[in-house]
Structure 1
């Protein structure tokens, strides 16, 4: 099978591959090697699309890498993603902690636990939207 891309579509594909590899390919994950192989394959076509400014090649390892220019182009997307994940994770962890501290948790059905967890998470999201981390401090 053959797939044809315009230059613009290939540029979008480069960004998608970069972001997906950045998010999904970690050394401890089984899929990491497959992700890196696919990234290398897609990046290898950069010259054919006139996109070599977005790709660096290491001849010693015979591998292609996203260039600093592609990294800079996606810097804001990554920063926004990291911030969103930070707040979601923080609220989820705090909500889980608070739910486990509730005295009557053993009486909750799984559905009630989930609903209560979401309720607590929502309260943390509202709190952090209003105050950020300004009022947070370690207990002494």
Structure 2
């Protein structure tokens, strides 16, 4: 199979590859048990290897047989990453706090029933409204004293 791309499509594709690989691997250390997902890096390197044919040398650098996007290229995409991270943060904090509060209400359960899920969504919505209005201003951690 052969896929033909315009120069613009190629540049858009390498942006998508960077963003996808960032999502898959940015938080991974590469240590045992936290290995990078190499299949994404491999396809990214493969596509980047065509930079010269698409006259994209300004955004791709070669080191031997390895190809990398330039720092300038990556920095231009960081606002997309930051927007995603910000959105995910607020969504996750509301969801996790809602689940915590629900389990405090109903006790530990192995499966949430439909009415529990509905209650969890209600709590989550309350957090979303609070965070949208005040951000983290009203969020306080209370240390519980250790029981002896």
TM-score, normalised to structure 1, is: 0.87
> What residue number does 1:49 align with?
54
> What residue number does 2:80 align with?
77
In the comparison of the two structures, how many residue pairs are matched? 136
What's the CA shift string for 1:49-83, capped at 9, x where partnerless? 11111112222xx2111211211211111110110
Q: After the TM superposition, which residues 16-95 of structure 1 pair with which residues of structure 2 at under 5 Å, given as runs?
A: 16-25=16-25, 26=28, 27=30, 28=34, 32-59=37-64, 62-95=65-98
> What residue number does 1:9 align with?
9
Cα 1:13–1:119 shift into 2, 3 Å: same
Cα 1:104–1:37 shift into 2, 3 Å: closer
What's the CA shift string for 1:30-58, capped at 9, x where partnerless? 7x111111010011111111111111222
Cα 1:136–1:45 shift into 2, 3 Å: same
> What residue number does 2:115 align with?
112
Please state if 1:100 is matched with 2:103: yes
Runs of 4 or more consecutive aligned structure 1 residues displaced over 6 Å after TM superposition: none
* Distance of 1:82 and 1:37 partners within structure 2: 24
Gaps of 5+ in 2: 144-148
* Distance of 1:139 and 1:4 partners within structure 2: 58
Report the 3-state secondary structure (helix = DSSP H, G, I; strand = E; otherwise coil) of the residue aligned with 1:69. Answer: helix
Q: Check whether the contact 1:99–1:105 (CA below 8 A) recurs between aligned residues.
A: no
Q: Check whether the contact 1:105–1:113 (CA below 8 A) recurs between aligned residues.
A: no
* Distance of 2:9 and 2:78 partners within structure 1: 20
> What residue number does 1:138 align with?
141
Structure 1 residue 109 displacement after superposition? 6.0
Which structure shows the higher helix fraction?
1
Gaps of 5+ in 1: none
Report the 3-state secondary structure (helix = DSSP H, G, I; strand = E; otherwise coil) of the residue aligned with 2:12. Answer: helix
